[in-house]
Amino acid sequence: MSSELLVDLGEDPSTAQLGQLKLTTIEDQQWPADETTLSKSETDMSQRFDADSPHLSWDHPFYDIARHQIIEVAGDDNFGRKVIVFNACRMPPHHQLDHHKLLMYLKGTLDQYVESDYTLIYFHHGLTSENKPSLSWLRDAYREFDRKYKKNIKALYIVHPTMFIKTLLILFKPFISLKFGRKINYVSYLSELEDVVKCEQLIIPARVKEYDNKLRASLKSGAEPPVSPLHSPPPPQPGVWGATCNTQTEESR
């Protein structure tokens, strides 16, 4: 993959929005340190979560990340697997967010559940040229998630995908194993998630719901779909690595 192509894509204002994940309770477990990425101070910070509170106190070292409610643990899906949600629209402008710290926070949240099967839902709407992370960060983030994290993830659902996210996955295909690629699914409308999880248990941001309503209205009227901040969404298509539908049933896994 040429470096020029990556740079061009990274600066392309058509980069669409990332979905949003919300914060839920953090259980009283220490986060294992990754000696290759965490300094001693970061390791100490990662062990100071309060199990008695669904939110972190203002003086917690990860409060500046948690307060945005980008990441959320949303109960179990229809198959009894823990659901982790990532809300892109809740990401502040990149100069106001420590992306390395966000990655450590995400890893710490997942560390509590990766020993069992889990599902990841990514709400893509709301990712803009102002809050999108760099391509190098995305590459490094994927590499951070070793087999421990990838083994028990049963599905990654990308809600409201755009041509940007699909192009990005094609560019990253050399880094993504075929086995993991088959776990990635595009979800064009929120209602499609009902096959996986009850939507009422997900605290979906209002702007994501509004966007979904506009998409459905345009589908019924035959009008052009609404334009997202950076790029209009593509029509429903098969899954990333050749799946035959936008969401998978338990039997297909």
49 located within any domain: yes
Task: Write down the pLDDT at residue 184.
Answer: 94
58 located within any domain: yes
Q: Find the Cα–Cα–Cα–Cα dihedral 174, 153, 132, 61, rounded to 10°.
A: -130
227 located within any domain: no
Q: How far apart are CA 8 and CA 10, in angstroms?
A: 5
Task: Write down the pLDDT at residue 40.
Answer: 41
239 located within any domain: no
Count of structural domains, the chain = 1
Residue ranges of E strands in 173-224: 184-187
Residue ranges of E strands in 146-231: 153-159, 184-187
**Is 68's pLDDT higher than 80?**
yes
Backbone angles phi, psi at 185, to 5 degrees: -130, 140
Average per-residue pLDDT for the chain: 73
- Mean pLDDT check: name the lowest of 124-128, 197-201, 223-227: 223-227
Our separate counts of H helices and E strands in the chain read 9, 5
Backbone angles phi, psi at 221, to 5 degrees: -85, -15
- Mean pLDDT check: name the lowest of 84-98, 167-181, 202-216, 226-240: 226-240
Task: Write down the pLDDT at residue 214.
Answer: 93
Task: Write down the pLDDT at residue 58.
Answer: 67
Helices (H), 54-93: 63-66
CATH of the domain at 187: 3.40.525.10
pTM: 0.69
35 located within any domain: yes
- Quote the tokens at residue 170: 């094609």
Helices (H), 154-200: 163-171, 178-181
Task: Write down the pLDDT at residue 80.
Answer: 94
- Mean pLDDT check: name the lowest of 22-31, 102-111, 195-204: 22-31
What DSSP letter does each residue of 24-35 carry, written as one string? ----S-PPPP-T
Task: Write down the pLDDT at residue 119.
Answer: 96
64 located within any domain: yes
**Is 174's pLDDT higher than 50?**
yes
114 located within any domain: yes
Query: In terms of pLDDT, which residue wins out, 43 or 149?
Result: 149
Which of 69, 141, 59, 127 is closest to 99 using CA atoms? Answer: 141
User: Where residue 212 falls among pLDDT bands split at 50, 70, 90?
Assistant: very high
Q: How far apart are CA 220 and CA 5, in angstroms?
A: 37
**Is 41's pLDDT higher than 50?**
no
16 located within any domain: yes
* Residue 132, domain extent: 3-221
Q: Rg (Cα) of the chain, in Å, rounded?
A: 18
Which of 198, 112, 115, 139 is closest to 10 using CA atoms? Answer: 139
Task: Write down the pLDDT at residue 121.
Answer: 97
Query: In terms of pLDDT, which residue wins out, 15 or 195?
Result: 195
Q: Find the Cα–Cα–Cα–Cα dihedral 190, 151, 244, 185, rounded to 10°.
A: 30
